[in-house]
Structure 1
């Protein structure tokens, strides 16, 4: 991975920078804590990793987040599927994020409510929201949600790439025909606490089950439109058609295989029937074999990404679209290489005729509305 290419310096890009100076920009998903955890040198030590310097080998650090004009960032405590000690792993990742907040208080403030984003914007800092990515972290204990909330967690992705005891994944065989009874209790408890329900990674049946149960808006923190790219992690139209009624937000993601159908199709030999990499596969070797047979992997682009935003805005309305990069130190689309590139999205949409009102909603306004609604529904 290399640093982002210089942006197109035109009137649209200048206008994008000016807009993001005025309004808060929120990114719904970033896996930096896991990147730090698996870094060969740092091994989860925030001080050794040193976020204050540019890490050109990946995509996220403080200098580039600031250059990208972020005011709010949702960081994930990712829990690998089938981890033998999911709660312990989640707690270790939460501790890592708390260490980021302590060591880099000049750059971050705790993100506990919508008000923290606005305060961070005024201070020139970034509101760091802690999330859990994979509800297996509960260890099937409903009260664990209360403990995670008290530690500062404000969003939970219900599962990851594998189904678990109470929630079916979009990329695995179903085990519960959607949400189990316990899973529905999880939604109700999250509503009561004021924790955002995240439907990225879940099966369409879980999406519908959740929309039937929830008393608050939900989000898809890093998912795109299935109609434009048929990856199972993307959101089908019959679900999209329920988003406005819920008041939720689909935060479109930068993952190439979720943007580009050509990239998705190129990767099929490296994926199982559910669209994920089989456990133990030598991914680099398989990719090299694919390239030798059919040529280089097709690239996703910022223009292709904005096609998803256009589609979502037309289908569900400008009030229900956001940004969820899913930066995790891997290959990213052209024009979306790292956290400096968020203004490229705004600039491309300005070129397409999006109004300042709708750009403000996309950048962070819709996410702030969801946060306020979730807070109001709690109790």
Structure 2
């Protein structure tokens, strides 16, 4: 944890947790250093993350979302205490559904899962009303900040659960979802995945309807995980800007999950943004025990506290001997600076993929976020420019999507 990561003024509930998480930090002479100055800048920024898989931890027996857990012995990377410590003001909590068979039974099972995950997010937020609130618009997010609360948006990763019934998007909109992507790791009824064989050469006919309904409802279209052809077609069809909620530049690593410079520019030209991730800047290592633990993590909410601790212990032990990603913090920053150079500061955001496989040495949980701000300052970016990337661009795109809905 970083000593410069202090809570924003006024957040009394989370400030206590942040202070406990940062106990022992040096004071005095450090306040005159560049590190401390970067911390001051970071505290003044609106900081959002567009892809938080943290809901996988909601409902764990004995696990308290409001506390600041120590990442050295805990698999989760996000909680309200550490959000305060890292000055992460909020983000999009993900309703994730694994890709299954394209059958009536598969759709029913996926829909049940997605509804339950959405309800799980609501139940967890309801436990901490003084600390965090659900936002359904840019204005509601700003109102929560004014109330000294953290922000929770909801998003859908993989629209497979709606099956062949586009009207189900309205159900999730009414439940507070404001962003969704059509696919995940597998091609489905809506379009082709970046990491699967192409069936539709882009969007399916139903996928084109999905784009129109997303625009009509005022939901942000998320192109992460979609094939290049799907992205190209969504850029043509959508009347509102598009986001890639957790993607890395292909310049850093040639992988189909990443985005090439030409498409970065085209997303920017349409008013959208690419949210920098920490994944797929190297090959993913899920061999041996790491892969076994990754599969177990999906069921952590059904484990006993002792089983959860053992999973966390093994996971963190492997970080030292078999990290999932062979990427340094310096390399992450090189990729981020490249993305900024190509897209421009008005079209960059952050979606680290916390609790979904993200995190590298030096950026292992949300308390490390001030270090990114420090590096951006070192690179010569102003507080205004950094603020656009950490949160301003997300709210701008949300407003543009809301305006397109009105039209």
**TM class, shorter-length:** 0.7 to 0.9
The secondary structure found in structure 1 opposite 2:58 is helix
Pairing 1:76–2:66 present: no
- Please say if residues 157 and 184 of structure 2, whose CA atoms lie closer than 8 Å, have aligned partners that are also in contact: yes
Q: Residues 308-358 of structure 1, C-alpha deviation per residue, up to 9 Å, x if partnerless?
A: 221111112111000111111657212211111111111111111112221
Pairing 1:324–2:351 present: yes
Cα drift, residue 281 of structure 1: 9.1
Select the residue among 103, 107, 112 that pairs with 2:131.
Answer: 107
Pairing 1:346–2:373 present: yes
Q: Residues 155-187 of structure 1, C-alpha deviation per residue, up to 9 Å, x if partnerless?
A: 002111111112111111112111011101111
2:257 and 2:54 map into 1 onto residues whose CA distance is 21
The secondary structure found in structure 2 opposite 1:231 is coil
Q: 1:244 to 1:329 in 2, by over 3 A?
A: closer
State which drifts further: 323-332 or 335-344.
323-332
Cα drift, residue 106 of structure 1: 1.3
Q: 1:355 to 1:50 in 2, by over 3 A?
A: same
Aligned to 2:301: none
The secondary structure found in structure 1 opposite 2:226 is coil
Cα drift, residue 123 of structure 1: 2.2
1:11 and 1:157 map into 2 onto residues whose CA distance is 42
Q: TM-score, normalised by structure 1?
A: 0.84
Q: 1:104 to 1:204 in 2, by over 3 A?
A: same
Q: 1:373 to 1:354 in 2, by over 3 A?
A: same
Q: 1:117 to 1:308 in 2, by over 3 A?
A: farther
2:51 and 2:69 map into 1 onto residues whose CA distance is 19
2:147 and 2:330 map into 1 onto residues whose CA distance is 32
Pairing 1:245–2:269 present: yes
Aligned to 2:235: 211
Q: 1:363 to 1:11 in 2, by over 3 A?
A: farther
The secondary structure found in structure 1 opposite 2:398 is helix
Q: Which segments of 5 or more consecutive residues in structure 2 lack a partner in the other structure?
A: 6-29, 298-310, 312-317
Equivalent positions of 1:62-141 (< 5 A) are: 62-82=80-100, 84=106, 85-141=109-165
- Please say if residues 69 and 81 of structure 2, whose CA atoms lie closer than 8 Å, have aligned partners that are also in contact: no
- Please say if residues 216 and 373 of structure 1, whose CA atoms lie closer than 8 Å, have aligned partners that are also in contact: yes
Cα drift, residue 362 of structure 1: 0.8
Q: 1:309 to 1:123 in 2, by over 3 A?
A: same
2:163 and 2:330 map into 1 onto residues whose CA distance is 41
- How large is the RMSD of aligned CA atoms in angstroms? 2.7
Q: Which segments of 5 or more consecutive residues in structure 1 lack a partner in the other structure?
A: 43-47, 271-276, 285-290
Cα drift, residue 12 of structure 1: 3.8
Pairing 1:193–2:217 present: yes
- Please say if residues 302 and 345 of structure 1, whose CA atoms lie closer than 8 Å, have aligned partners that are also in contact: no
Pairing 1:29–2:51 present: yes
1:11 and 1:178 map into 2 onto residues whose CA distance is 51
Aligned to 2:18: none
Select the residue among 237, 241, 251 that pairs with 1:227.
Answer: 251
- Please say if residues 96 and 157 of structure 2, whose CA atoms lie closer than 8 Å, have aligned partners that are also in contact: yes
Aligned to 2:79: 61
2:3 and 2:361 map into 1 onto residues whose CA distance is 11
2:191 and 2:84 map into 1 onto residues whose CA distance is 36
Pairing 1:146–2:170 present: yes
Pairing 1:334–2:361 present: yes
1:231 and 1:224 map into 2 onto residues whose CA distance is 9
Pairing 1:359–2:386 present: yes
Cα drift, residue 119 of structure 1: 2.0
1:182 and 1:248 map into 2 onto residues whose CA distance is 23
Cα drift, residue 254 of structure 1: 2.0
1:334 and 1:268 map into 2 onto residues whose CA distance is 17
Cα drift, residue 282 of structure 1: 11
Q: TM-score, normalised by structure 2?
A: 0.79
Q: 1:11 to 1:202 in 2, by over 3 A?
A: farther
**Corresponding residue pairs, total:** 347
2:338 and 2:232 map into 1 onto residues whose CA distance is 21
The secondary structure found in structure 1 opposite 2:83 is helix
